[in-house]
Structure 1
Amino acid sequence: MSLLVFGHKNPDTDSVCSAIAYANLKNALGQEATAYVLGEVRKEAEYALNYFKVEKPAILESAAGKDVILVDHNEYGQSADGLEEANILEIVDHHKLGGIKTDVPLMVKIMPVGCSSTIIYNMYKENNVEVPYEIAGLMMSAILSDTLIFKSPTTTELDKAACKELAEITKVDMEKYAMDMFKYGTSLDEYSIEEIVNMDFKKFDMEGKNVGIGQVFTLDTDSVFAKQDQFLEYINGTDFDLLVLAVTDIIKEGSYLLYKAPDAVIADAFKVDAAQGVFVEGCVSRKKQLVPGLTAAVKNM
């Protein structure tokens, strides 16, 4: 039976590219594996796939009864339908532990780095497997995306070293390529309000409260705030106890927040004078800034 390798729902560039890269490594090591995605591929990941001429993985409808490997996530709420009935063999991730339980031991590799593809690249090196050009390109794309060209606080020296080595394989100018990828991927003109909020959206349980955090990276924040009232109408109409949409400006290196939450929670979480559309300077990472800040603030509610 082929192993199913996939990242989280609402797949971002790392989720897509790390699944393809890890499935390729497994095949190189003699284990049949196939990469899947848990939803439509976003434009940024589409740019990387097209640039390096890699076919888009199929969408996985259910993991029930399958042998699976999770990359770039380890929480049931972010994973495939039917995961509770799947046989989880491995997890390769760079996020906090998310409470997945298994009946048998499994291989888990979680590292505090900026991108899952950094971990997977080093696994290629550990296993003395040559990285093909197109796989190098995908992993490089994922690292540049997740670390915001090394501007994110999640960035480590391992990420920088991996990306540099991968760029040497691809012969690509990292910064120019990254900006072209971001420009292609951050245009929001063709998306609805609902699609933008849910584009990169994750659910969390914080002190028993159902919390949602969406994040969208864009070079055109004006297009979002021209529809601020419509965004708030949608956000406030959800079933979440709290919901935060971070509109991250790649150039200004910070995020504007739209939210369904008491102002006091936002003020406590991010040390700002809370108001809809408030700019949080330096806040670009959900993992290291949005989630920890909100978690602490919710505890203080």
Structure 2
Amino acid sequence: MDPRNETHVSHFLLMEVTEDPKLQSLLSSLFLSMYLVTILGNLLIILAVCSDSHLHTPMYFFVSNLSVNDICLSTTTIPKMLVNIQTQNQSITYTGCLTQICFVLVFASLESCLLAVMAYDRYVAICHPLRYTIIMNSRFCGLLILLPLFIIILDALLHSLMVLQLSFCTDLEIPLFFCEVVQLIKIACSDTLTNNILIYFATSVFGGIPVCGIIFSYTRIVSSVLKMSSAGGKYKAFSTCGSHLSVVSLFYGTGFGVYISSALTNSSGSTAVVSMMYTVVPQMMNPFIYSLRNRDVKGALRKLINRTPSLQ
């Protein structure tokens, strides 16, 4: 293998959103609007949870952490893409690309784990209501966030260190709007077997285990709810899970769309679009799902807005 350019890679080239100058301003405005809506919507959820004592429960503790994670994940990808559109320069530095890879891995993996933790929270609340406050105490809730985060950070750093060992030749174009570890490995001109094994293992751990946990939790929830004699009790139990199920469906649905798109089509453009939707749409829609489907959150948002001093 020719080792040329192994130590001289200073930048990569990301995919251009569009070559049409007329569409550039339109797409830039569109993605900027989506980013601002994501930031504002998730900030409102965080402020509502923090300001209303009725929402100081494990369920909303996890919801607020999900909102923080959504802000971070969107901030990792969208601002750089907006800069590239405005400057018409698709380059990203080698260091910037590795940094983006690390943060995307951290926040995407943490989102998956948070959804599994929230499913477990609903399982305990519905199947063990009398022991809920004992099981889901503040120390345990904090552990459910910090332990996965610690493991995820170690995994992301390991991926980044493994990428540092790769050599790149002349093809430095990444067929996505942001740096992603799988796509970067594909353009490497050195052996990537170890990197691919690590990716499959990490996907199984941070994707497969949370999905199995969600399926297990809702299987037990459905079984417990069906045993209830009261129709009102069944409705109340299912309604508490409605928002979370919607978020889970949106996140894993778009993620499954990325997998199907990359497996069934050779078009890098369609894969890039679906990948961007995976890191933009769920994070933008989550605040609306929780605020529109949840009476407690809507009440807290009204109180928050009413307390905001009017500009006179």
> Which of the five TM-score ranges fits, normalised by the shorter chain?
under 0.3
Q: Which has the higher helix share?
A: 2
Q: How does the TM-score come out when normalised to structure 2?
A: 0.24
Q: Which has the higher contact order (CA 8 A, sep 6+)?
A: 2
Q: Which has the larger radius of gyration?
A: 2
Q: Which has the higher strand share?
A: 1
Q: How does the TM-score come out when normalised to structure 1?
A: 0.25
